[in-house]
Structure 1
């Protein structure tokens, strides 16, 4: 429990203190955001705002994760980083690197298009396949691997198994979906960061609950076969702290944007946590805002290509309300409220499953 609190506190502190340094450094280098021409006219004033703030989020996450373990070791505790923790952190950082390249190309070429679709998909493919292959390795003394080739809701659905090759494909699909979903959501000041903080806060509770009911420690009704749940709680706490600290500077009016560096990294972490905790389908509910934003883009494209008409004034979904006359802060706060409802509803589903198992 101390390690979880330390991870959140350290990452929060680093994120708050390091982000202003990035704002000054990126401003001097002219690393400003390009705004797409077809976007809401009110966004034109944001052109030139420093971007690539995801560097602060990833740095703070690593500081919180490693710092927590370092303090625990100094205090004589044997809680060392686990295979699950390393894998999720590496997935987050790998996608962050893909996003960084995307942001850097945008800045250098002064356009709103960075990596082309093929290059971005290849980057996500390399990171996703590497994660999937490694996640099926490193069995511990209980023969538990960080991930399993089964589909999961709150627990593994044993009769829905993809097999090794199928899981690699499924894993890539999940990583691509969530990284793009968070990327779509990152269109208003603080919207993605605040929504992500709620998701990771929910997963602090879920992973700690899984640790307290770990089948390898307490074989009882309702226990969970999850590899390294306590260390995943540390990762989730570090991510939550990093997002909240960054939100201090990213809230409207934003002084820095997370860019694809941050949004792809956070989307990767969402995907990684869902697979490591055996809650892939539950994540659809917990990350309800990300789910809706992604679906709005898919529906908009599908409708336009088939009928030539649009469902929304503009996709992703948050722009629809901006063009309907809502103030940007109104959209952000109301989406945060809906995000909180989704996270609490998902947590309720998780707890009700446990009650049903023990009852």
Structure 2
């Protein structure tokens, strides 16, 4: 538990005090946000605000994770490093996208094909590596079973190991793309995505800690019949705490009126970290509940595009959903706070479902 507390505290301090230094650096280099003219007019005042703030979140997370293990003199785990690899890799893709937008002063950075290719390469590497590195007990960081609150009986390797690997990679790519793009679409108002992500990562701190106490590989576990077959649950909690602390510290500067935006650097990285935690903690489908706000906002875009292509009519004034309410006259802070409430309700529901399953199986 000490590693969890150290990681959360260090990343909070790094993000809280490191972000203003990073803001000054970005201002000197004139790395400001480009704002589209077809969006809400209230966003025009945000043009030129420093972006790529996700680099602080990534840096704070990596430093906090390293210090937590260094202070306690414990080795990092494969599971923890894999989540950090996925987070950092997608962050690099987002950074390239942000940098092209800034340098060319346009709303399009990487082409859609290049962006998907970058996400795909990082996701494939993560998925393949997640099925390697068996422990002394034979446990690998991930399994080919689809998971909800734990692994289900639906095994993607039903047709053999080779087919199982291919299907697992495809399934993982869907989760990674869904989570990263969901956070990316939510990142449209000051502090909205950062605050929502903080709550979901806090949930994974609790899930990882609980799974560690009831792990099938923990000799002190008193409930073997209900134990969790997760390779490194405590270290996953450390990673989640590090990201949560970094988001919390960054939120101080990202809240309205934002002094800095996380950009695709942050949104893709945070979405990747959520997907990685869900895959390795064997709570893949549960992420749909925990990240319910991201799901709703993503669905609003899908419905808007689908309706316009099929009928030529729009369901919302503008998508993603938060911009619909902006055009309806809601204030930005009002939207953010109410969406945070919705995110908190989904997180509470997800944690309730997670714990209820353990209690019911008593």
1:347: which partner in 2? 351
Q: SS of 1:244's equivalent?
A: helix
Deviation at 1:311, TM superposition (A): 1.0
Give the stretch that moved more between structures: 148-157 or 328-337: 148-157
Q: What residue number does 1:164 align with? A: 165
- Which of these residues, 83, 107, 111, is aligned with residue 106 of structure 2? 111
Gaps of 5+ in 1: 74-78
Match of 1:175 in 2: 176
2:41 is the counterpart of 1:41: yes
Taking the TM superposition and a 5 Å limit, the aligned residue runs for 1:79-90 are: 79-90=74-85
Displacement of 1:160 in angstroms is 4.2
Instruction: Report the Cα distance in structure 1 between the residues aligned to 2:131 and 2:13, rounded to whole angstroms.
Output: 34
Note if 1:63 corresponds to 2:63. Answer: yes
Deviation at 1:172, TM superposition (A): 1.0
CA apart distance, 1:22: 0.9
Aligned to 1:76: none
Q: Report the Cα distance in structure 1 between the residues aligned to 2:20 and 2:155, rounded to whole angstroms.
A: 47
User: For residue 120 of structure 1, what is the aligned residue in structure 2?
Assistant: 115
1:221 to partner: Cα distance: 2.4
Structure 1 residue 215 and structure 2 residue 216: aligned? yes
1:137 to 124, 132, 141: 132
CA–CA separation in structure 2 for the residues paired with 1:302 and 1:150: 32
Count of residue pairs brought into register by the alignment: 353
Q: After superposition, give the CA deviation of every residue in 1:185-234 in whole Å (9 maximum; x if it has no partner).
A: 00000000000000000110001000000011236121100010000000
Point out 4+ residue stretches in structure 1 off by more than 4 angstroms. none
**Cα distance in 1, alignment partners of residues 45 and 253 from structure 2:** 17
Residues 112-162 of structure 1: CA deviation (Å, up to 9, x unaligned) = 110010000000010000000000000101111111111111011122425
Supply the distance in 1 between the matched residues of 2:172 and 2:310 (Cα, whole angstroms): 29
Q: CA deviation at 1:355?
A: 0.4
Structure 1 Cα separation of the partners of residues 128 and 305 of structure 2? 33
1:32 and 2:17 equivalent? Answer: no
Identify which of 211, 231, 238 aligns with 2:235.
231
Matched, 1:50 2:50: yes
| Corresponding residue for residue 102 of structure 1 | 97
Q: Are positions 1:147 and 2:142 aligned together? A: yes
User: d(CA) in 2 for partners of 1:131 and 1:294?
Assistant: 24
Equivalent in the alignment of 1:10: 10
Q: Which residue number corresponds to residue 192 of structure 1?
A: 193
Inter-partner Cα distance in structure 2 for 1:63 and 1:153:
31
Distance in 1 of aligned mates of 2:66 and 2:125: 22
SS at match of 1:221: helix
- Give the aligned partner of residue 160 of structure 2: none
Paired position in structure 2 for 1:286: 290
- Secondary structure at the aligned position of 2:166 is classed as helix
Deviations along 1:45-68, one digit per CA (max 9) or x if unpaired, are 000000000010000001111111
Separation in 2, partners of 1:125, 1:301: 23
**Distance in 2, Cα, partners of 1:330 & 1:174:** 30
Structure-2-length-normalised TM-score = 0.96
Instruction: Specify the SS of the correspondent of 2:135.
Output: coil
Q: Which residue of 2 aligns with 1:322?
A: 326
Q: SS of the residue aligned with 2:251?
A: helix
Q: Distance in 2 between matches of 1:257 and 1:314?
A: 21
How high is the TM-score relative to the length of structure 1?
A: 0.97
Determine the C-alpha separation between the residues in 1 that align with 2:194 and 2:175. Answer: 20
- Take 2:135 and 2:311, find their aligned partners in 1: how far apart are those partners? 53
Residues in 2 aligned to 1:141 and 1:296: alpha-carbon distance in whole angstroms: 46
- Residue number in structure 1 paired with 2:161: none
Deviation of the 1:80 alpha carbon: 1.6
Tell me the SS of whatever aligns to 1:158: strand
Q: Does 1:21 align with 2:26?
A: no
